[in-house]
Structure 1
Amino acid sequence: MTMPLAAVFTDVPDPRRQTKNTKHQLADILVIATCAVLAGAQTWEAIALYGRTKEAFFRRFLPLANGIPSHDTFYNVFQALDPDAFAARFGAWMAAACRATGWIPTAIDGKSVRGTKKATATGCLHTVRAWATANRVTLGQVSVPDGSNEIAVIPDLLRVLEWKGALVTIDAAGCQVENAALIRDREGDDLLTVKGNQPGLLAAVETVFATACETAFADVRYDQHDACEDGHGRHDERYVTVIYDPKGIPDVWRDVKAVVPVNRERTVDGKTTRTTHYYLSSHAGTAEVMAGWIRGHWGIENPRSEDRRSDNLCAPRRCGYHRHRGPTRAGRVVRSAFRPRRLIMPVNERSAPPRRLPRPW
Structure 2
Amino acid sequence: MASQIDVFHECFDQVEDPRVAGRTTHPLNSILFLVVSAVIAGADGPDEIESFGDEKLDWLSKYADFEAGIPSHDTITRVLSLIKPAEFQKALLQWHAHLCEMNWDHEIKDDDHPVHVAIDGKTVRGSYTDAEKSDAIHIVSAWATENGVALGQTEVDSKSNEITAIPELLELIDISNAIVTLDAMGCQKSIAEKIIDEGGDYVFAVKDNHPKLCAAIAEHFEMAHNEGLTTHGVRSTTTKGKQAGRDEERFYATGPIPESLRALTDQWKGAKSICQANTCTSRGDKQTSDIRYYISSRPARVGEFANSARRHWGIESMHWVLDVVFHEDSSRLRTKNATSNMSFTRRFVTTLLKRDTRKKSLRRKRKIAGWNTAFLEKLLFAA
TM interval, shorter chain, is: 0.7 to 0.9
Partner of 2:85: 84
Residue among 10, 13, 17 paired with 2:13:
10
2:8, 2:232 → 1: CA distance? 48
Structure 1: runs of 5+ lacking an equivalent: 59-63, 345-356
Partner of 2:360: none
Does 2:115 align with 1:114?
A: no
Does 2:293 align with 1:278?
A: yes
Does 2:235 align with 1:223?
A: yes
Shift of 1:177: 1.0
Equivalence map 1:280-359=2 (5 Å): 280-284=295-299, 286-303=301-318, 310=321, 312=322, 318-322=328-332, 329-332=334-337, 334-341=339-346, 358-359=370-371
Q: Is the 8 A contact 2:139 2:340 kept in 1?
A: no
| Root mean square deviation of aligned Cα | 3.9
Residue among 186, 194, 209 paired with 1:197:
209
Partner of 1:144: 156
Q: Is the 8 A contact 2:192 2:202 kept in 1?
A: yes
Equivalence map 1:245-264=2 (5 Å): 246-247=258-259, 248-249=261-262, 250-264=265-279
Partner of 2:36: 34
Q: Is the 8 A contact 1:112 1:124 kept in 2?
A: no
Amino acid at match of 1:209: F
Larger helix share, 1 or 2: 2
Partner of 2:139: 128
2:15, 2:89 → 1: CA distance? 10
2:371, 2:118 → 1: CA distance? 32
Partner of 1:93: 94
Change (3 A) 1:334 1:54: closer
**How many residues in Structure 1 have an aligned counterpart in Structure 2?**
328
Partner of 1:155: 167
Q: Is the 8 A contact 2:206 2:214 kept in 1?
A: yes
1:246, 1:179 → 2: CA distance? 23
Amino acid at match of 2:246: R
Amino acid at match of 1:294: A
Change (3 A) 1:115 1:31: closer
Q: Is the 8 A contact 2:224 2:234 kept in 1?
A: no
Which of 148-157 and 256-265 deviates more? 148-157
Partner of 2:363: none
Change (3 A) 1:83 1:23: closer
After TM superposition, the score normalised by the length of structure 1 is 0.73
Shift of 1:172: 1.0
Partner of 1:354: none
Partner of 1:169: 181
Partner of 2:352: none
Q: Is the 8 A contact 2:11 2:91 kept in 1?
A: yes
2:252, 2:74 → 1: CA distance? 49
Does 2:251 align with 1:239?
A: yes
After TM superposition, the score normalised by the length of structure 2 is 0.69
Q: Is the 8 A contact 2:116 2:180 kept in 1?
A: yes
Secondary structure of the corresponding residue to residue 241 of structure 1: strand
Does 2:190 align with 1:178?
A: yes
Q: Is the 8 A contact 2:240 2:247 kept in 1?
A: yes
Shift of 1:129: 2.2
Q: Is the 8 A contact 1:104 1:166 kept in 2?
A: yes
